[in-house]
Structure 1
Amino acid sequence: MQIAMAMPRTLSDTVVDGPLGALLRYPRVFLALFCLILFTPGLTSLPPLDRDESRYAQATKQMMETGDFIEIQFQEEARNKKPVGIYWMQSLSASVFSSAPFTEIWAYRIPSVIGAICVVLLVFGLGERLFDRETGLAAGGIMAATLLLIGEAHIAKTDSVQLACIVAAQAMFAKFYFADRFGEPRPGWAWSWALWGAVGLGILVKGPLTPFFCGMTVVALSLWERRFGWIWHTRPIFGSGIIILIVLPWLLAIMLVTKGEFLEEAWGRDFAGKIVSSQEGHWGPPGYYLGLLPATFWPGSLFLVPAAIFAWANRADPVMRFLIAWAVPAWIVLELMSTKLPHYVLPLYPALALLCAGAVVTGMRQGGMIFSHITAKIGIAAWLLVTLCIAFVLLVFVPAEYGAGTGLFLYALLLPVLLSAGFAAYFLFQQDAGRALAAALISATVLAVAALGAAVPRLDQLKLSPRAAELAASAGATANRGEKLAIAGYAEPSFVFLAGTKTTLTTPEGAAQFLIDHSNSFALIDKETADAGFRKVLTAKGYTPEALGQVSGINYSKNRKIQLTLFRLRKSDN
């Protein structure tokens, strides 16, 4: 493998033959099309499920409704958790791709899709500079097909855009580091603009996480190499000015509007709180992320063991040191944190993709010797088992549990997924890394299209919020204008997003009083948890509820089947 980026080539630089060769002429076009194949199925058919996605989308919708693009709110509650960057991006996307009342959730997901595509192209560019074009293409393909990135591309949150900022900043840091490492001229001002602009945008999107991940890399690498002067070459004082220009205007505005509460809650409770204690029940022991890695980094996890062997064998190489410094120190910190969610380690996956790609291309050029190690063979067998579990869960279990059933069609789609995965394992056992990578990416592509394009539309039981909102709208009970709708027993943000900002989330007793206090109003009541209390209050005050319709489904956040009935008041004859 050759190491480019104006540095000595310390590894093999023989020409690649095989599956990658035909794609090298237009790699960015191929990767962009590959991303669209992976990221667009299910984008419009997947309802708003993730609570954070619905909160982001609803807060963005309220910005468009009120014209206030400074303060972030979910209904009347201040949402002082993350900065405003993603809300601005989503408001632009929603205003372009949808119209009032702006309830098409897919329009809010466009920034996530664009961010994920940028991540893949940036990984390719970084791989091309650190290694060569073949390795960059392999790394981009692995990153695009990664299960966790595909998931984040389908959710209207911060993570895809933040990841693009992190990878862009890391690429710029690599430029300065390797220029200093090999005695090249100091990169020009444009590189500093790009570096600190990426950091500033990352802060505006998700606060201090971009400086955290980049800072961990810079500090670890500098300590390992005992070289610190290159950091000054990035022009950090100038960079501080760029960050201030990007972040400070909105930060001052939100501090004035919230009287300082934004910074106190975002930094003191949200960010720092996740470090010292488990928040919202999202706890995991040390090793949590490592245990999930075979699934969340699938299908690239097929090459993790060879990548570890490859990195350790070449640990004196500056490229390996940069990628190890990117992946390992921050990983250790995240494992020690109390609050854990699977996507927290996503900013480290580009480094893993580059290491895996380096191992694959080196294996292609050197006869696949690194894949003959016994641990690599054990890893292949484990990967096959993980593949079987992932395919079964996505194409069999989830449709059966949350939809009308699996059906022969989805069972049939298992065949190409497992067959191509089997070929990937076989090729790697035969030390044919190039064909193994191609087969693994084919398996991931078929699974993504099958799961998101065929299985997701069948998940009728998860469409409770859209069904409930449609029922309310059919009766004229929309909450986009005026206070006409209350709901008890089902307080999901997705319902507020779909039904309207002025939806009243309340108790059973509160829903009854809402109907009494507001003429021509409606209430959705969960039969199991809210019906008795609702009826008790109405009966005591001489009213009788009139049922207008029912919907049922599964509240996925609590994994509970519920039935919602839409009521309005009818004056009792007694």
Structure 2
Amino acid sequence: MPDVSRSNTLVASARGLRPLRALTALFEFAVGSHRRAALVLLLTSLITFLPGVFEIPPIDRDEAYLSQSSKEMMEGGDYVDLRYQHDTHYTKPVGIHWLQVAAVRTAEAFGVPDARTAIWLYRLPSVLAGIGAVLVTYWCALAFVSRRGAMLAGLMIVGSPLIDAEARLARTDAVLLLTITAAMSVLARAYLFGRDEKIARPGWTLVLVFWIAFAAGILLKGLVIVMVVGLTAATLCVVERSARWLQILRPLHGIIFLAILVLPWLIAMYARTGDSFLLQSVGHDTLGKITTAQESHGGPPGYYLVLFFATFFPTSVLVGLAAPAIWARRREADIRYLLAWLVPSWVIFELSATKLPHYVMPLYPAIAILVAGAIEAKTLSRQRWLIKLGVTWWYIAPTIIGLAAVFAAVALVRRPILLAWPLVVAAIVCGYLAREIYGRSVESAVTHAIAAMILVGVAFFGLIAPALSPLFPSATLAELVRASGCPNPAAASAGYWEPSLVFLLGTQTKFVTAPAAADFLHAAGCRFAFVDTHQEREFLERAKAIGLRYAWGPEIGAFNYSKGQAITIAVFSSPDAQSR
């Protein structure tokens, strides 16, 4: 039953402030039943993850790179091999590409126009996986805490800025989060059975969920799920001095089922490429990242700990307050499991040479459940200076982020984006309320802090980011080509070599030098050349040497965030393009 007295106390203390009353009432409604909780988490996830999915152009580089590879699967009709502009693309397994292809093919079947260059379709698997990860975190948490605590854990996943971003990008990480959380949820029930009388023995349905999730994780990102699940199980077996509890998962049958799901594609790839895929994907992309910082993505041990405050905000504020109580209960079965999920894999990630913020994302559900449990048990630290230092950021962060986003829009595009202002103000109000009511109800304070970050995210991704056209020069260039009216335009680019341009303009788009761009424009047909102004002199010298006739189009000022530098792109077109 909902705690009516608690709700009434909070409402009375709000002094007429509607946000406090509304959020408190919504939370109390949600925890009234599992169906309500799932519905509220579903709607909250949609509100959080959908803004910007349809409006923001392709993001360089991973999103555009993966989406283009999926597009080439459809163009060539080959759903085994992985290609980018017809060259091999063996960094990741095939899983995310199959999901993206399924989304685009379904849209084409329903008559969606230009489906293959609609980036939102490639993002749908991530959006759905993000929602699924929230709901599965709720289900996972029910093995450890009450419905109230599980609801908080699910909301913590929704409120994470890192998960918020990944759930709207056409990449593997949101889907991987779902598969790992699902596998770890079943593993938790297998471990806690016999140690917690509330936990029933997982039946064949849950065992199938575990092995399907495990297989999907392998097809998505190779050994990552093997590491997280394997280290958790190994740690628990060492601590317990027994592996008998793993028999609940029917390992012999499961491994056979896993092989049936994974091996056909691996065998097909081996028949096609020999050991090239395994050497590049497993050897270079996965194991190589442990010893070598790839693509300048390195960092010292402690990198993830430092970033954690921002990437899992606002929940990160409470981790320090919850840590003493968690450590005191470390020998209890439920806490032991969550720490086994969290600590060994975190250590491996910290020691690996290559580091990116999203690598530790599959460990966030464990942290959310640990913190939710501490809130439910009322065992958070009561050190006043630590509380004041932490919860003040619930007010400061949305204020800084919201105002910075608004001012960035004014600076970059000379537009105030007025529709975003009410959302930013509401976020600041929610952050302020979260700070003020912490002493009366941590639960309500956390929900307000999460609401503040959701509002900031909706304002930025839904309204501000789509308006920042200088960040998306590929979309501007693609629009120029479409506006020409050419039935079969061809394009080459010198100095600006981002995969988003290939995705929007077509697989045949060429990345060349400035002199080669002039030669490209000299051929017959409707053609466009995009030249970084730093290379413009070379283009013009070559154009003069070969007697090139061309039209000089606009110059596109932009900021290449992949390289962290401002650029200007000159647009040149052939006479055929100008005659239309």
If the length of structure 1 is used for normalisation, what is the TM-score?
Answer: 0.90
1:542 equivalent in structure 2: 547
Match of 1:340, SS state, is coil
Residue 319 of structure 1 pairs with residue 325 of structure 2: no
Any residues of structure 2 matched to 1:95-114 within 5 Å, and which?
A: 95-97=105-107, 98-100=112-114, 102-114=116-128
> Which is worse superposed, 506-515 or 224-233?
224-233
Give the match for residue 360 of structure 1.
375
Q: CA RMSD in A?
A: 2.4
Secondary structure (helix, strand or coil) at the match of 2:296 reads coil
Is the CA contact 2:321–2:381 (under 8 Å) kept in the aligned structure 1? yes
Contact 1:295 1:386 in 2 (8 A): no
> Identity over the aligned pairs, expressed in percent?
34
Rounded Cα–Cα distance in structure 1 between residues aligned with 2:471 and 2:229: 38
1:216 paired residue number: 231
* TM alignment of 1:341-360, pairs within 5 A: 341-360=356-375
User: Which residue of the partner structure matches residue 142 of structure 2?
Assistant: 128
Q: How far apart, CA to CA, are the structure 2 residues paired with 1:392 and 1:310?
A: 36
Q: Structure 1 residues 45 and 369 mapped into 2: Cα distance closer, same or farther (>3 Å)?
A: closer
In structure 1, give the amino acid aligned to 2:519. Q
Question: Which residue type is aligned with residue 381 of structure 1?
Answer: T
Distance in 2 of aligned mates of 1:29 and 1:246: 32
Q: Which amino acid aligns with 2:457?
A: A
The partner residue of 1:445 within 437, 442, 454 is 454
1:231-250 mapped onto 2 (5 Å cutoff): 231-250=246-265
2:28 match? 21
1:370 aligned to 370, 381, 394, which one? 381
Q: Unaligned stretches of 5+ in structure 1?
A: 1-12
Q: What's the CA shift for 1:67?
A: 1.0
Contact 2:57 2:466 (8 Å CA) reproduced: no
Q: Is the 8 A contact 1:396 1:411 kept in 2?
A: no
- How far is the alpha carbon of 1:95 from its aligned partner? 2.1
Q: How does 1:40-439 map to 2 (within 5 A)?
A: 40-97=50-107, 98-100=112-114, 102-182=116-196, 187-363=202-378, 370-372=381-383, 374-397=385-408, 399-406=409-416, 410-411=420-421, 413-428=423-438, 430-439=439-448
1:392 to partner: Cα distance: 3.7
Change (3 A) 1:433 1:185: closer
CA offsets, 1:28-61, max 9 Å, x none? 0110001000011111111112310001111111
Question: Mean Cα displacement is larger for which, 85-94 or 411-420?
Answer: 411-420
Distance 2:97 2:283 in 1: 21
Deviation at 1:358, TM superposition (A): 1.3
Match status 1:470 vs 2:485: no
Mapped contact 1:51–1:492 kept (Cα < 8 A): yes
Assess if the C-alpha contact under 8 Å between 1:477 and 1:484 holds in 2: no
CA distance in 1, matches of 2:115, 2:336: 51
- Partners of 1:308 and 1:119 in 2: how far apart? 24
Q: Which letter maps to 1:268?
A: G
Bigger Cα displacement from structure 2, 444-453 vs 49-58: 444-453
Structure 1 pair 225–243 and aligned structure 2 pair: CA distance change class (3 A):
same
What letter corresponds to residue 557 of structure 2 in structure 1?
S
Distance 1:550 1:377, change over 3 A: closer
In structure 2, the partner of 1:558 is 563
Distance in 2 between residues matched to 1:254 and 1:132, nearest whole Å: 46
Of residues 509, 524, 531, the one that matches 1:526 is: 531
Query: Is 1:39 the equivalent of 2:14?
Result: no
Q: 1:508 aligns with which of 508, 514, 518?
A: 514
Contact 2:130/2:163 (8 A) holds in 1 = yes
Aligned residues of 1:427 and 1:435 also touching (Cα < 8 A): yes
Structure 2: which amino acid aligns with 1:464? P
Give the whole-Å Cα distance in 1 for the aligned partners of 2:463 and 2:484. 32
Distance (Å, rounded) in 1 between the aligned partners of 2:38 and 2:310 = 27
Structure 2 residue runs of 5 or longer lacking an equivalent are 8-23
Distance in 2 separating the partners of 1:193 and 1:53: 31
Secondary structure in structure 2 of the residue aligned to 1:485: strand
Change (3 A) 1:71 1:510: same
Give the C-alpha shift of residue 431 in structure 1. 4.6
Q: Structure 2 counterpart of 1:68, which letter?
A: D
Deviation at 1:180, TM superposition (A): 4.2
Q: Do the aligned partners of 2:155 and 2:447 also contact (CA within 8 Å) in 1?
A: no
Q: Give the Å deviation of 1:369.
A: 6.1
Check 1:524–1:563 CA distance in 2 against 1; reply closer, same or farther (3 A cut). farther
Q: CA deviation at 1:139?
A: 0.6
Instruction: Provide Cα deviations, 1:217-264, integer angstroms capped at 9, x if missing partner.
Output: 112222233332212332222221121111111111112222321111
